[in-house]
Amino acid sequence: MNAVRPLRPDTAGLGLRRALLGALQAAPAGAFDFLECAPENWIGVGGKLGAALEELSARHPITCHGLSLSLGGPEPLDETFLVRVRRFLEQHRVDLYSEHLSYCSDDGQLYDLLPIPFTDEAVHHVAARIRRVQDVLGRRIAVENVSYYAAPYQALAEVDFVNAVLAESDCDLLLDVNNVYVNSINHGYDARDYIARMPTRRIASYHVAGHFDEADDLKVDTHGAAVKDAVWDLLGEAYRLHGVHPTLLERDFNFPPLQVLLDEVDAIRQLQHTAIPHAASAHG
């Protein structure tokens, strides 16, 4: 088995999207620190696309962010697919693998990431599935807090639900700062309080992304625009509270020239650089 390539905490990455393949291959050394892909989009892909993935993964560390495990769903886990994911992670020496704290299947794929009811029963259900995933993959995974618009039944607050799942499953957290901001506006909670209540020792990485301002009280998590100032501020707060970890700039469509994205990667690096002395004194 190939040894994984651990990432330094102070790293900033980009999503490996097919529309960006040529630009990513031509990017100068050091333009970004790692690339993130969804295994579902690349497992079994050959030809020119497969060759491009092999070339990029030979040059850059790869992280993976899954789309279809449906951790909160009622259908049995697809363990055949999990075995294929494990092989992909090992082939590309992936250190960080994450999935969404949501569900996307019910008698077939639903092609959306749907929120899980925030109940004790759901905590037990999801945690058991995460533990099984970790057993099959032979590694810890991280789960991502997701954005949602129609709130499911909430016997627990979102922040308490996320914390309970992390504790019972003994997995890590991919803290998506934009999702926290979007949900805080749409569902009326304090984003900084949410960030503060996340468990520092479980945070493996961060995501930032752009969103669409539908209205003052409605934000849509699109991944199709530049990161907003309020989200940059919240990322800086997360760094100050929990320390610096590998951070991905998510962009899924409406791609600008690569240099525009690299400017945002540099903004992540600047926040990391600013936060590191503070984090060292706070955690020393």
As a whole number of angstroms, the distance between CA 21 and CA 104 comes to 27
Residue 282: count of CB within 10 angstroms of its CB: 12
Closest listed residue to residue 34, CA positions, set 63, 8, 4, 54: 63
pLDDT at 8 over 80: yes
Residues 37-91 have pLDDT tens digits of 999 999 999 999 999 999 999 999 999 999 888 898 888 999 999 999 999 999 9
Contact between residue 231 and residue 182 where contact means Cβ atoms under 8 Å apart: no
The CATH number that applies at residue 193 is: 3.20.20.150
Is the full-model pTM beyond 0.85? yes
Closest listed residue to residue 198, CA positions, set 101, 119, 273: 101
With respect to residue 97, please indicate whether it lies within any of the assigned structural domains.
yes
Question: What's the total number of domains in the chain?
Answer: 1
pLDDT at 94 over 80: yes
As a whole number of angstroms, the distance between CA 225 and CA 228 comes to 9
As a whole number of angstroms, the distance between CA 176 and CA 155 comes to 23
Residue 53: count of CB within 10 angstroms of its CB: 21
As a whole number of angstroms, the distance between CA 39 and CA 41 comes to 5
Listed range (84-93, 105-114, 186-195) with the worst mean pLDDT? 105-114
With respect to residue 27, please indicate whether it lies within any of the assigned structural domains.
no
pLDDT at 103 over 90: no
With respect to residue 263, please indicate whether it lies within any of the assigned structural domains.
yes
With respect to residue 4, please indicate whether it lies within any of the assigned structural domains.
no
pLDDT at 281 over 70: no
With respect to residue 205, please indicate whether it lies within any of the assigned structural domains.
yes
* Residue range(s) defining the domain that contains residue 162: 12-22+33-283
Whole-number pLDDT of residue 102: 85
With respect to residue 105, please indicate whether it lies within any of the assigned structural domains.
yes
pLDDT band at 106 (very low <50, low <70, confident <90, very high): very low
DSSP 113: E
Mean pLDDT of the chain: 91
With respect to residue 28, please indicate whether it lies within any of the assigned structural domains.
no
Angle (nearest 5°) at CA 225 between 220 and 228: 80
Whole-number pLDDT of residue 104: 66
Residues 141-157 have pLDDT tens digits of 999 999 888 777 889 99
With respect to residue 146, please indicate whether it lies within any of the assigned structural domains.
yes
Task: Indicate the pairing of strand 142-144 with strand 97-100.
Answer: parallel
Q: Average pLDDT for residues 196-209, to the nearest whole number? A: 98
Residues 246-260 have pLDDT tens digits of 999 999 989 999 999
Question: Distance from CA of residue 260 to its chain's centroid?
Answer: 21
